[in-house]
Amino acid sequence: MKLVFGLSLVALGVLVALYAHGWWQARALAPRKAQRAAGATSGDGSDEEAITLARLPNKLRLRPRIDVLIDSVATLGFDQPTPGERIRPFLPKTWRVGTKPVLFEGLAEGSVRWELIRPGRRYRQLQAAVQLANRYGPLNELEFSEWVQMLTALSDKIEARLDVPDMIDEVGRGRELDAFAQEVDATLTLYLHARRAVWTPGYVQQRAARCGFVVGATAARMVLPGPGLLDASFAESYFTGDENDTPATQELAPIQRWPEVPTLVLKFDTQSALADPEGASIDVLELALDVPLVAQSLEPFATWKHIAQQMAADLDAEILDAQGQPLGDASFDEIGQWLQQVYALMAQHDLAAGSPLARRVFS
């Protein structure tokens, strides 16, 4: 009898141990969820951590300027200085031909600096530019012809003499610029794969926020903001206004504002992010650095590597490349050496990474 009782206790102990092990395994492998902060409540009454999302700065007075290195430039001359009020109503409503941006600037009386065309100023000459190449490809004959038609109509309306460059030469320059851009255009991408437990979108957002990321254009995209829209070393030469600018005059050419360029981009499954931030499961994250758009002086590669390693440790993830191979220190060192060559080549062609011209070409 005692033997039977003893065996029953042993069996019961084994069952309890198996249940505990199964519970622990289920808990360990369950999707990791965002931690809740005491006292913080959401609109539906549930507790959630409140994460303040930073907004990227908006510098309206820093805009792209025409540069013969990456633009095909035409001139429109006047016999007499012409008020900006007469010119502006006839400027194209859409400053783009095909996939290429178009820019306009004016040379005012008593000035040696090209500027945006504004009311209250009288202009001796205008210059118009179409970009030679961007990530959509080089300027083609159709886009060039459309640009010339646009300028011809404008010159007739404002009674200006139009002088345009040769189409064959400019299309050729566009192809050369595009060929170089393809040579140095690079996006560094790595992947964080969950080792054991998967994550919920809310958990990923919470952990990424600790590294400085903020929610981007979609719920499945987070960005690490840079220090500003342009590196400080480029700001002065690309200031298109003056100390008398007002918000009204700064708004005259909204298409010319600099886009917001993050240092890094973190992406994950869109469907999971939209379905249920605390119920869906994610097992892989993508961390990317768009090399030509971020200034070398900001050390984006070191940031990319550091954040990848920090998040991998925080999320219990492994760092893999696009082929699923682990990325260790040796691999990062090899990438870093290659990247220095890319930076040097871009600088030699006056298209330093993160510069205004590079941001235009690689947009």
Are residue 223 and residue 167 in the same domain, yes or no? no
| Residue 55 structure tokens | 């907004």
Are residue 81 and residue 197 in the same domain, yes or no? no
Are residue 198 and residue 312 in the same domain, yes or no? yes
| Residue 85 structure tokens | 């009020």
Overall number of domains in the chain: 2
Are residue 142 and residue 269 in the same domain, yes or no? no
From 181, 210, 242, the end of a domain falls on: 181
Are residue 151 and residue 204 in the same domain, yes or no? no
| Residue 63 structure tokens | 């805009």
In this structure, what CATH number is given to the domain that contains residue 153? 3.30.1400
Q: Please indicate, yes or no, if residue 90 is contained in any of the structural domains.
A: yes
Rounded Cα gap, residues 325 and 323, in angstroms? 6
Q: What pLDDT is recorded for position 162?
A: 97
| Residue 17 structure tokens | 């141990």
Q: Please indicate, yes or no, if residue 30 is contained in any of the structural domains.
A: no
Are residue 167 and residue 95 in the same domain, yes or no? yes
Are residue 204 and residue 151 in the same domain, yes or no? no
Are residue 171 and residue 198 in the same domain, yes or no? no
Q: Half-sphere exposure of 296 toward its Cβ, with a 13 Å CA cutoff?
A: 14
Are residue 213 and residue 357 in the same domain, yes or no? yes
Query: Which helix H or strand E contains 320, and what residues bound it?
Result: strand 317-320
Cα distance from N-terminal residue to C-terminal residue, the chain: 83
Q: Please indicate, yes or no, if residue 21 is contained in any of the structural domains.
A: no
pTM of the predicted model, to two decimals?
A: 0.76
Cβ distance 287 to 192 under 8 Å?
A: yes
Q: Half-sphere exposure of 267 toward its Cβ, with a 13 Å CA cutoff?
A: 12
The length of the chain in residues reads 363
Q: What are phi and psi of 206, to 5 degrees?
A: -65, -45
Q: Please indicate, yes or no, if residue 253 is contained in any of the structural domains.
A: yes
pLDDT tens sequence for the chain (363 residues): 554 445 455 444 444 444 444 444 444 444 544 555 433 333 333 333 223 333 334 443 456 889 999 999 999 999 999 999 999 999 998 889 999 999 999 999 999 999 999 999 999 999 999 999 999 999 999 999 999 999 999 999 999 999 999 999 999 999 999 999 999 999 999 999 999 888 988 899 899 999 999 988 777 889 998 765 444 444 434 444 443 443 333 333 433 445 568 899 999 877 755 656 566 788 999 999 999 999 999 999 999 999 999 999 999 999 999 999 999 999 999 999 999 999 999 999 999 999 999 999 998
Q: Please indicate, yes or no, if residue 46 is contained in any of the structural domains.
A: no
CA distances from 74 to 16, 109, 113, 150 (A): 84, 19, 17, 12
Are residue 227 and residue 273 in the same domain, yes or no? yes
Rounded Cα gap, residues 282 and 269, in angstroms? 7
| Residue 246 structure tokens | 């007002």
| Residue 137 structure tokens | 């490809």
From 181, 212, 237, the end of a domain falls on: 181
Q: Please indicate, yes or no, if residue 2 is contained in any of the structural domains.
A: no
The whole domain housing 311 covers 185-361
Are residue 356 and residue 214 in the same domain, yes or no? yes
Scan for tokens 């100023």, then name that residue. Answer: 121
Q: Please indicate, yes or no, if residue 220 is contained in any of the structural domains.
A: yes
Q: Please indicate, yes or no, if residue 29 is contained in any of the structural domains.
A: no
From 148, 181, 214, the end of a domain falls on: 181
In this structure, what CATH number is given to the domain that contains residue 263? 3.30.1400.10
232-269 burial string, b = 16+ CB within 10 Å, else e? eebeeebbbbeeebeeebbebbeebbbebbbbbbbbbb
Are residue 156 and residue 200 in the same domain, yes or no? no
